[in-house]
Amino acid sequence: MNVLIIEDEKPAARRLNRMLAAINIEVKQMLHSVEESLNWLQNNKHPDLIFLDIQLSDGLSFEIFEEIEVKSAIIFTTAYDEYALKAFKLNSIDYLLKPLDDDELKVAVDKFKENQPKQTDVQVNINDIRKLLINPVDRKFKKRLSIKVGQHIKIIPIDDVECFYSENKSTYIHTKENRSFLLDNSLETWQEQLNPEHFFRVNRTFIIHINSIKDIIAYSNSRLKLILNSYNDSEIIVSRERVKDFKNWID
C-alpha cells in the first residue's frame, strides 16, 4: 500500500508516520503545504491512500482538488468540529479527529483495506464543505440546557457553562456558579451543538468556553495549560496537535 501524509505541522506528521509504522504501513512521502502537495501530485503516481489535514500553512487542502484530479482514497485528519465533517460522508470520505487515537487509526486503515476501491477521481463538493468550515453562522446552536436535578428541571444558559468534560465514561458541564451537572449525551454529541466561536475542544476530555479562560500557561512538549475561572478539579491541557487551532480561535 502506498501512503502519503499531507500535514503542515511537522511534529504531527512525524507522529502519524510512527503510528502507521507501528501497524506495518510505510509512508511514501510527507508534504506540508498546498503548493508542495500540488507539485508532488503533478509529478508522481498518486498513492493508494492520503492522510490529509484540512488547514495547511498556505490554505485549505481542498484547493488541491480544485487544481488536479486526485486518484487516491482520502482520510482527513482534523481538529474541526464533527458537524463540519458530515459533508465528507456524503462523498464517501473518511476522517479522524485530532489528537489521533491508535485504535481509531487502525480501524480506519482496516476499513480502507477491506473496501479498497480502484483508483478514481475524488469527487468533493468543495464549496459546500468550505461554507460549513468557514461560515457556520446560519447554523442553530444550543442557547440553553435543561438538566434534571432530582425532581426538578434546571435551565442553564449556554453562556453560563465554563466547560463540558468527560469523566469515568460520563459527560458533565461545569458552570460559572462553580457547580457540575451530569449530562445524558456524549461529549461528541454536545460538540456538534455548540457554537465554535464560543466553544473549543482542547483535547479528548474538555470543551471550554472562551469566556471561562482565566489564564494560559506554556506547558511541556509545546502544549498549553488552561486555568479556568472556577473549574479546578483537574488540569486542562491543550493537546499539541490542537495548539495552533486554539491560538487561531482565541485571536
Tell me how far apart the alpha carbons of residues 219 and 232 are, in angstroms, rounded to a whole number. Answer: 17
Across the range 183-203, mean pLDDT stands at 87
Task: Give the CATH class of 144-250.
Answer: mainly beta
Note whether 3-136 and 144-250 share their fold.
no
The pLDDT of residue 191: 84
The pLDDT of residue 58: 81
Tell me how far apart the alpha carbons of residues 220 and 244 are, in angstroms, rounded to a whole number. Answer: 15
What are the boundaries of each domain within the chain?
A: 3-136, 144-250
Burial of 94 (0-12, 13-18, 19+ CB in 10 A): middle
Instruction: Give percent of the chain with pLDDT exceeding 90.
Output: 46
pLDDT band of 90, cuts 50, 70, 90 = very low
| Backbone torsions φ then ψ of 111, nearest 5 degrees | -65, -40
Q: Answer for the pair 236, 163: CB distance below 8 angstroms, yes or no.
A: yes
pLDDT at 137 over 80: no
Across the range 154-182, mean pLDDT stands at 95
Tell me how far apart the alpha carbons of residues 242 and 224 are, in angstroms, rounded to a whole number. Answer: 10
The pLDDT of residue 83: 43
Tell me how far apart the alpha carbons of residues 173 and 207 are, in angstroms, rounded to a whole number. Answer: 9
pLDDT band of 86, cuts 50, 70, 90 = low
Least confident of 109-118, 149-158, 235-244: 109-118
The pLDDT of residue 172: 96
Q: Which residue in 95, 96, 93, 97 sits closest to 117, CA to CA?
A: 93
Residues 6+ positions from 133 with CB-CB distance below 8 Å:
54, 60, 80, 84
The pLDDT of residue 85: 56
pLDDT band of 9, cuts 50, 70, 90 = confident
Across the range 105-128, mean pLDDT stands at 69
pLDDT at 94 over 90: no
The pLDDT of residue 122: 54
Of residues 91 and 54, more confidence is placed in 54
pLDDT at 126 over 60: no
Residues 6+ positions from 168 with CB-CB distance below 8 Å:
none
Lookup: cell for 44: 508522481
pLDDT at 160 over 80: yes
Task: Give the CATH class of 3-136.
Answer: alpha beta
